[in-house]
Structure 1
Amino acid sequence: MNFKPDEKNIRSLLKSGCQFVIPRFQREYSWDKKNYQEFFEDMMNNLVASNGTISDDQYFLGTMLFVGNFAEKPDKPIEVVDGQQRLTTITILFSVLSDRFRELGEDTLSKQLFNYIMTTDDNGEEVRVLQSKSSYPYFVYYIQDREKQIKTEPSTEEENCIQETYEFFLQQTSENSLKKLLKKRMGDDIVNSISYVDILKALRDQVLDCTFISIAAGDKDQANRIFAILNAKGKRLAYIDLIKNKIFEELKDGVNGTFAEECWNDIKTTLNSGSETVGMATFFRHYWISKYKRCNASVLYDSFNKTIVKNETLYRNFLEDLLLNAKNYMKIINPRREDYNNRKEYFWLVQSLSTMNKTFNVVQTRIALLALYDIKERNLVSTDQFKKAILTIENFHFAFTAVCSMRTNNLETIYSRFAIALRKCTNKSDTSRVIDEKLIIPLNKLYPSYDVFVVKFKELFFTKKDEPTNVKCKYAIYKLNCFLSGKDVFEDDGSIEHILSETSGDHALNIGNLILLEGKINGDAGQKSYVEKIPYYQKSQYAWVKKFIKANKDWDESMFEGRAERLAAVYYKEILKRELPKGNMIRVEDVV
């Protein structure tokens, strides 16, 4: 195997100019109090003091495994294969220390430390040093935003772990807690002579100077082989390993053995074949609760044993169906027009799947989508009903997830019940009924009210900086433009235009000041005043732009809020197909 071990420290790693990505299929952040408390105490116990000063000492963090080339720097992100728990914990601790410095009025120290969390690319745009797909966007808002402008509550076990780790570090880094911990080892006189700021700086340096062995592999397969070697001893079998062993015990001889091994390998290869890959365990659970029964991972092996009778034929059929669903799963998370022979009637589908996966970053939807693909392939759903179901899910998550950031534990249950019922349909009439009763009606009950939606919609903004909120605002503008032009698919040449120039201030970033414009025209219009832009807008082929300049002879900041509210009302009524409150007489023409 071709890989290069190298000794690094945390300072050089986080200042390397590289972005580090924790893929969704990697283990979620799961350190409990025992883990992060031990890490924190190790850092504190390694500090040394003398003559009124405090400093750090050498500490070894072990091995970290990556996929990528550090020499390429910003060109390609580095994937973290082993080390995500430590790097996430360090990022959380740095966020806490940055907050502590800021509380003390040490804004320069706060900003400098935050540079290990957020850095800038060659264009001067802010980017996150560590990117976690499974905890996005919670990790961004709660840990990687120095201003913490967007308040959000944890909704998953991983997000709870992140919050608990942050709160633990926050409590432990108070002046009283730090000095109390140090006094146990150094004595009162020594600790009392050291300032609180100096203790925080020493803790910062202790983490930054931690060393580790960095192993950079050339590709994922190589990294997985290295990871298997590093973790060969004492590794507890996961449920997916137990299920695999159970199947292989039955299909172990001759042709059956060859079939089982080839089929299993085909499934793994399929799940690693796209730009977005997924682990076998994640896929298997989504498949299982889409077809058989909703259950937690901890009891999935038992559920498998109770549901799938131990039998050669049944196990072979199960593997074949698993492979078929793996292929559909990859179409869902890596949507490409090529998968549908570039037929225009499927462009909307590719767009919708991409939106759910990349823009809204929701994974529960895959449970329902797997079942929809299954009945589509069995010709048990009309094209109109198939489209209706998928757009229902997309529109719901725009309002519920992207705009209103609402949380519920019921979605997985809703999607599982819908998927299981859908797969049991035997004709198109049954399918239509299940889509209405098991999908649309339950989701309608969870929809945010108009009052909640409009408040959150009006907060959407778009900036050229790397902000997680950009994607949902951009999506809303593209969707409105589609509606006004009577199209299903976003314009290929469109770009977000700030009607009043973005340079006029943060207020100009608001959705009430945005419209879709051809990229070339947008570039030509530049930062001109609205009146100066009108001749450029007149060249646009977009119906929305034509209506806008006809309705607005001038444009200023006082018009933003009213327009944002009108956009929200039209979106809620016409795109989401929701009823407006009585007395709200919004018309489509008012969208300009």
Structure 2
Amino acid sequence: MKITPTTLSLQQFFAVGNEQFLIPAYQRRYAWGQRQQRELFDDLRLLPAGDTHLLGTLLFLADTHGPGINRLELVDGQQRVTTITVLMRVLARRFEREGDPEAGQELTKLLLCKGVDRKPQPKLHLGDLDHADYIHIMEGGNSSEVENECLRGAHQNFTVWVDQLSLDELNQFFHKLMNSASIIRLDVGAAKDAYKLFETINNRGLRLKPTDIIKNFLLGHASSLPSGTLEKVKEDWRKLIVALDGLDSDDFFRQWLAGRLHRKVTKNKLVADFRAYYLRHVTEAQSMTEFISSSIKDDEDDEDAEDVAALEDSDPGDLVADKKVKLTTFAKELRQSAQLYASLLWANTESSKVNRHINNLWRIKAFQSFTWLLDMFGRKSVNETTRVRLLRTLEAFMMRRHICEKRSNELETIFATLTSIDDQNYEHTALATLREYTPDDEEFETAFATFPFVPAVVNRARYALEMFEYQAIAHKNEYYLADPEELELEHIIPKAAEKPGTKAIYGDWPSYLGEGWKAKHIKMLHRIGNMTLLADELNVVASNNPFLAKRQEYAKSNIRLTQELAEYKQFKFKTIEDRSNAFGKLAIRIWKV
């Protein structure tokens, strides 16, 4: 392995006029937050005069330099280099405003590169998802239009912090940045060496995510295989990253792998389990050497001790190996799974019925179920009709378990088990498995009537009320209620019952509810019997009977559940209890597994 380490000041690092640093399209997006940005800024601002500050190691994949623009792939260090260039651009603008164009031009020149044609290009070129945002910032565009929140935050934070410096402090900071801060640059000529080194370098900044380690593992192996393999795997990885934009890629790998291993996969076991699976299922894996032995310690999960212990006792080697595939096929299938996963999580499939049920699952809080859904939707043998029926059953299953407050950790094991079902009798077997872990009618009815639909699960209450409405109108799939954002979740007895503003609008709720109302209010406020849906804010006139003031508006609603409230002569805590109990009896019919 040929490695050329060089310690450089930032002035020296950026000074080579015909070098361009490329952040590959397969890399993760810019992700530094305010904490990392502030640490870098303060490390330089507070650096004593005459002292030096090491910013860490940067790893480049570089060929022999030629006369034109030499494009160097930045394998490790993209977060720091991107942050530093944004800071340099902010400094340049401050100098220009201070009437020091020379300093501003010096910084601007370092942020550009030129080839034989002398046309300036950005010194740093980000991947597909971030480059347009980056150029927008560097060219002085409105940062509020930048989509990547972290990039936008870097520009805005540095602008605020740099503007707080006095002119003397600004000059000192500029000198420290360019001359006292240094990096260790490692230039590696072979891709396989670059990816091998990646795991051994410790950087200040964000801890490596499992996704980054998996990427390096795949690309490192691909780089040791015949020509063309690496480029194919890179392209599939690029598409995978694009597909998962806005989602947690670690969650994808964890749920995808759980579906392949048919067991729960925790974050702290993800990398090791992925490697074990890869070694057993990829044809070329038998030729791997250095990538097998490398060890990675991941973040610990907040799992129950018994769950972690159970996983530690399991051995991926006990699995029966599937038919092996070539690495390029493995990468393609992984990318396709990521694209399917994204379409499911965004409820962006080709079926409006499927999308509606997935949106319901989000409102119920059923994220764990996507392990099973990814597997189910990846099976060509399961048609849309079956999928919709199973999605409807899944809603009922998750609703019952959440309302009865069953252990959430158990869900991941249940859904991983469902991925092992054979295609033959698939629906029947899946239903049998779900029923085994479903609370019975009696438990669910009792729990539903007393369940506190607090703000953290308010969408679950909206969902429940919508289902009650569809039951009330004998819904025939002809029309649906407005989007949740357009419907108010109305507490009939209001949250702030004793505030002067509430009394001025509705009337005197405490007097209306009677002695001891406050203790009962705390207990009954978030029960389903105290809730309804309303499209517009109430327009009421206060009266001695505050419910009657509301009742006039309920009568105007097109929602059946809300209209029915207008038939009540009074609405007190006993009414909430009776209404909640009635909803409980209805719930066991609607959410039937």
What TM-score range do you get, normalising by the shorter chain? 0.3 to 0.5
Q: TM-score, normalised by structure 1?
A: 0.42
Structure having the higher Rg: 2
